[in-house]
């Protein structure tokens, strides 16, 4: 066989793969544009529906219970452990530099500025975002959303608006709760390792932690809550392909939520430093 002939299949394969690559890229780009375009339209619809009455107050409270109260056990464990672990990790190094007394301040600032808001949002995003996407996805697959329209119930108002509002309200409250529990965890470790009294711990923290340390952290979680609710509802509401689609929606919701929370956090940190230092 001639070398040129031998090369043919190779060329063919190369050519084939070269043909596929742009197609795949195009497909991924198309998907990305579709998702973010869809999120923008969904977002605008949410703004309109949340302003114009009627309001589904009872259902919003029910959803707030699902998002807030049901997330408490997970948030509690994670927060106490974060406060405790951060104290354990930083005490030896800080003591080496003669700054052992500053451990509570360092932990408080780290937790309130960054760790509690982001960790709570990512954890709740995983639990609630996946839950919302799976619930709405299975409602779509079992035609319950269509049945609502037949019954003259606006499914967007009842299912989407209530869940997003519940997330916006609950995330800041969960963050305040997580800040408090993380400091309790930090205090317990500090007490065991350095013997610091409760009064001294509280005085050290309250004297040093200022408004820019805790307020931006709490406020940005309202936006993270909005992302969790929006993405979870969008993925579930637009779920396709029956039960397989439900699983995919839940996974997509968790991945997109986590990504958007981390990316928007970078923007919030920059803005916080810019305005409050």
Q: Give the nearest distance from C-beta 54 to another protein in angstroms.
A: 12
Binding of another protein by 52 (CB under 8 A): no
Q: Which two tokens stand for residue 231?
A: 């993405």
Distance CA 178, CA 217 (A): 12
CB burial string 100-127: b at 16+ within 10 A, e below:
beebbbbbbbbbbbbbbbbbbbbbbbbb
Binding of another protein by 150 (CB under 8 A): yes
- Candidates 34, 89, 93, 144; binder of another protein (CB under 8 A) is 144
How many beta carbons lie within 10 A of that of residue 20, not counting itself? 11
Q: Give the nearest distance from C-beta 63 to another protein in angstroms.
A: 11
Tell me the H-state helices in 52-102.
57-67, 72-96
Distance CA 126, CA 128 (A): 6
Binding of another protein by 215 (CB under 8 A): no
Q: Please, are residues 143 and 131 in contact by the beta-carbon 8 Å criterion?
A: no
Distance CA 260, CA 277 (A): 24
Name the segment binding another protein (CB under 8 A); options: 11-19, 42-50, 151-159, 176-184.
Answer: 151-159
Nearer to another protein, 87 or 138 (CB): 138
Binding of another protein by 152 (CB under 8 A): yes
Binding of another protein by 38 (CB under 8 A): no
Distance CA 266, CA 270 (A): 6
For the chain, the straight-line distance linking the first and the last C-alpha, in angstroms and rounded, comes to: 73
Name the segment binding another protein (CB under 8 A); options: 36-44, 113-121, 139-147, 213-221.
Answer: 139-147
Q: Give the nearest distance from C-beta 249 to another protein in angstroms.
A: 18
Nearer to another protein, 26 or 149 (CB): 149
Q: Give the nearest distance from C-beta 232 to another protein in angstroms.
A: 17
Count of positions on this chain that bind another protein (CB under 8 A): 11
Q: Please, are residues 220 and 120 in contact by the beta-carbon 8 Å criterion?
A: no
Binding of another protein by 149 (CB under 8 A): yes
Name the segment binding another protein (CB under 8 A); options: 6-14, 144-152, 169-177, 186-194.
Answer: 144-152
Binding of another protein by 34 (CB under 8 A): no
Interacting residues of 222 by C-beta distance below 8 A, sequence separation 6+: 168, 171, 172
Nearer to another protein, 156 or 268 (CB): 156
Q: Give the nearest distance from C-beta 184 to another protein in angstroms.
A: 36
Containing 222, the helix (H) or strand (E) segment is: helix 211-237
Contacting residues toward another protein, per CB under 8 A? 142-144, 146-153
């Amino acid at each position: 066989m001639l070398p040129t002939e031998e090369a043919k299949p190779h060329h063919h394969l190369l050519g084939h793969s070269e043909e596929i690559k742009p197609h795949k890229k195009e497909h991924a780009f198309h998907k990305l544009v579709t998702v973010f375009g869809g999120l923008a339209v969904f977002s605008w619809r949410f703004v309109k529906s949340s302003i114009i009455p009627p309001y589904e107050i009872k259902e919003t409270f029910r959803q707030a219970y699902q998002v807030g109260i049901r997330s408490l056990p997970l948030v509690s464990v994670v927060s106490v452990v974060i406060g405790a672990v951060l104290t354990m990790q930083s005490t030896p190094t800080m003591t080496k530099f003669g700054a052992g007394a500053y451990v509570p301040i360092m932990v408080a600032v780290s937790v309130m500025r960054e760790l509690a808001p982001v960790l709570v949002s990512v954890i709740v995003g995983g639990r609630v975002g996946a839950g919302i996407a799976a619930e709405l996805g299975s409602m779509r697959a079992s035609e319950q959303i269509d049945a609502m329209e037949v019954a003259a119930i606006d499914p967007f108002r009842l299912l989407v608006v209530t869940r997003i509002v519940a997330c916006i309200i609950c995330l800041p409250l969960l963050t305040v709760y997580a800040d408090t529990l993380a400091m309790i965890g930090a205090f317990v470790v500090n007490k065991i390792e350095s013997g610091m009294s409760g009064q001294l711990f509280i005085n050290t923290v309250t004297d040093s932690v200022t408004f820019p340390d805790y307020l931006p952290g709490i406020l940005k979680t309202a936006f993270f809550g909005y992302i969790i609710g929006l993405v979870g509802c969008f993925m579930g509401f637009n779920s396709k392909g029956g039960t397989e689609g439900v699983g995919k929606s839940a996974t997509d919701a968790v991945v997109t939520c986590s990504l958007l929370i981390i990316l928007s956090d970078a923007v919030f940190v920059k803005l916080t430093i810019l305005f409050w230092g």
